[in-house]
Chains A and B, each alone.
Chain A
Amino acid sequence: MAGSDSAGASRQSPAPAEEERAVASVRGVEVVVSLLLAAFAALMAHDNWKSGAGWASDGPKAGYFPFYLSLLLGAASVYGLVKAILHRAGAGSPFVNRDQLRRVMQVLVPTFLFCLFTQWLGLYVASFLLIAGFMRWVGEIAWWKSVLTSLLFAVAMFVTFDIAFDVIMPKGPLEALLGF
């Protein structure tokens, strides 16, 4: 009941038909995921076969347990694949529409960039950029609020983790400059 309510609320704003068009159907995604899982299972089965899926003198070899698991995973994914292809009912239900996909990308892409920047600039600078950027461009919040919030957050994180709890995070040139 709660679900239908909130879904109803989100659909209230009139969106052009183009925005509501599905980018992928649930069935299509199920087929792709099943194929990927089956391929993964095959890869794992091959590797475990190589490391030994049989018996040694002292019991099952290292690959024994995972080998049979990959067979199980493979079988279940193939079953899912066949079922997704044959199953007609509900075939048209959308996995995600254009508007939704755009919003998902609005988080996914910045998160990806954040991970990338963490490698070079350290976690604190990257998180400052992520929060300030996200608030400014996605949330359309005023510049000074975005910068101030993210600055406070990054400093608070630094104090909590690196100083108070002794949990060391990746650092970059800025921290080196400040002597940490």
Chain B
Amino acid sequence: MEALGLLLHGFEVLLTFKTLSLMIVGLVLGIFVGVLPGLGGPNGVAILLPLTFTMDPTSAIVMLSCIYWGALFGGAITSILFNIPGEAWSVATTFDGYPMAQQGKAAEALTAAFTSSFIGSLVAVLLITFLAPGIASFALRFGPPEFFAVYFLTFCSFVGLGREEKHKTIISMSLGLLLTGIGMDTVSGQLRMTFGSDNLLRGINFLVAVIGLFGISEILLTMEERLALRGHAAAISPRVVLRVWKDLPRYWVTLLRSSAIGCWLGITPGGAIAASFMGYNLAKRFSKHKESFGKGRIEGVFAPETAAHASGTSALLPMLALGIPGSGTAAILLGGLMVWGLNPGPLLFVEHKDFVWGLIASMYLGNIVGLVMVLSTVPVFAAVLRVPFAAIAPMIVVSCAVGAFAIQNAMFDIWLMLLFGVVGYVFKKIGIPLAPLTLALVLGNRAEDSFRLSMIGSGGDLRVFWSNGLVGSISTLALVLLFWPAISGGFGRLREMLVGAKS
């Protein structure tokens, strides 16, 4: 049990006054970010990232991941009390959470949401603790072709498995990959696509793009929809908490099922939203009281929240072990790691043991502290939503600008953020997904480098991606996923033909 020893060491790294206070600051900021309409996990982390630039990497990542946990918890507050999902994956929570609040059982619903979030994350963190080191040491054998194949697999699974129209996913992804190419070419040192501009020389920073794409565009959308916030008040008493917890064992099947779904979907990219709906639907299908779902059944809160948090957390597994983020927020954390000069991927487990295990330990601790905090401070955060949006909107705009500027100390980046904000608004409205764009912006350079290194190694022979069993099976799987709709359609037709022939 080497992992346990290392984990204990991680706790040792964490248990200092400074780290613990940063953890609490991070959680508070995160819950704020999760509660405010127009902000959520990914942009919250992106905007607050500059605060951590002057810290050492371990403190920084602890604070950032706590912002993330806080945002995950905060999303449930708005879903249940105001029927406004703070995040896309909290949508399923509103189905039963809001009716419960209407029936005056808001405290129960919130306790259920927080507790199940905690359980979901805990299962996923356990998975990370015991699986990540193994995957990382396996991935140490990877060369450039293997890495490119894994990146290719990530991109293909977005195109093949995404629900959006395929050409829109491809547009989003290729645009992101193109934008990362702007600036100095890392392999040859040549300038490209800069059109003689000094500002483009630095390249387009991924975080600037994300702050615009998610932060600014979300403000525009929120203004357009003119959200009227009318919510239910709630305070959680210890008695309610104990009552919900006493009932908890009855729902162990739902909790376990949702955790498993969440972990599985979290590791594959873009899964948290799907996980929450799947968790909810399966709980409904296997329940003896199907008709009471959607009318304020506590199980309908347990199921999606557990799944969403399990997947939100397990999305960090491929990020740590392979350097491939499983979600938008994981992508931003990955961007943060690169800012501090840490190279996410298998080598991280060898070269920066303290950092990795500090992070994993902070997941345990952050979740426990977070649970206690949200349970005790719900009324405060619910009150935040009563602050008029006209005061919150410009403050978010300013925070976005601060975040964008601080990354490279460039005024140009503030303008770029504004441009990306408009692009994000238009893209969201015509159904071009933003997740592939984000992913491409993070992985673009690494994908290109590994592609070119493998090309150099093989002398330009594309067969290098099928040169051994490992890389060959990853590449083949990538192609299968890319053409998955066609393949599954073909199988369906084949089965129809067979059935038709039989009868």
Residues of A within 8 A of B (CB): 1-2, 5-7, 9-10, 26, 29-30, 33, 37, 40-41, 44, 47-48, 51-52, 55, 58-66, 69-70, 72-73, 76-77, 79-80, 83, 95-96, 100, 103-104, 106-108, 110-112, 114-115, 118-119, 123, 127, 130-131, 134-135, 138-141, 149-150, 153, 157, 160-161, 165-170
- Contact, CB under 8 Å: B397 / A80: no
CB-contact partner of B456 in A6, A59, A76, A166, under 8 A? A59
Interface secondary structure of B, over-half rule: helix
| Residues on the A chain within 8 Å of B430, using CB | 26, 29-30, 33, 95
Given A112-B418, A130-B394, answer yes or no on A167-B53 (Cβ-Cβ < 8 Å): yes
CB-contact partner of A139 in B390, B402, B452, under 8 A? B390
Closest Cβ neighbor of A83 among chain B residues: B167
- Contact, CB under 8 Å: A44 / B178: yes
Bound Cα distance from A114 to B400, whole angstroms = 12
CB-contact partner of A135 in B94, B167, B391, under 8 A? B391
- Contact, CB under 8 Å: B401 / A123: yes
| Residue from B79, B226, B228, B421 having most chain A Cβ neighbours under 10 A | B226
- Which of B112-120, B121-129, B189-197, B239-247 makes up part of the contact surface? B189-197
Q: Scan B378-390; emit 1 where CB is below 8 A from any A CB, else 0.
A: 0000000000111
Given A44-B178, A130-B398, A167-B51, answer yes or no on A63-B224 (Cβ-Cβ < 8 Å): no
Number of B interface residues in the complex (CB < 8 A): 70
Bound Cα distance from A7 to B220, whole angstroms = 16
| Residues on the A chain within 8 Å of B432, using CB | 33
Closest Cβ neighbor of B448 among chain A residues: A65
- Contact, CB under 8 Å: A77 / B456: no
| Residues on the B chain within 8 Å of A40, using CB | 175
Bound Cα distance from A40 to B170, whole angstroms = 15
* B414 contacts the other chain (CB 8 A): yes
Q: How far in angstroms is the closest Cβ of chain A from B412?
A: 10
Q: How far in angstroms is the closest Cβ of chain B from A71?
A: 9
* B409 contacts the other chain (CB 8 A): yes
- Contact, CB under 8 Å: B94 / A2: yes
CB-contact partner of A65 in B95, B388, B397, B451, under 8 A? B451
Given A69-B174, A107-B397, answer yes or no on A134-B390 (Cβ-Cβ < 8 Å): yes
Q: How far in angstroms is the closest Cβ of chain B from A70?
A: 6
- Contact, CB under 8 Å: A135 / B178: no
* B460 contacts the other chain (CB 8 A): yes
CB-contact partner of B223 in A2, A47, A80, A104, under 8 A? A104
Given A123-B402, A170-B411, answer yes or no on A59-B452 (Cβ-Cβ < 8 Å): yes
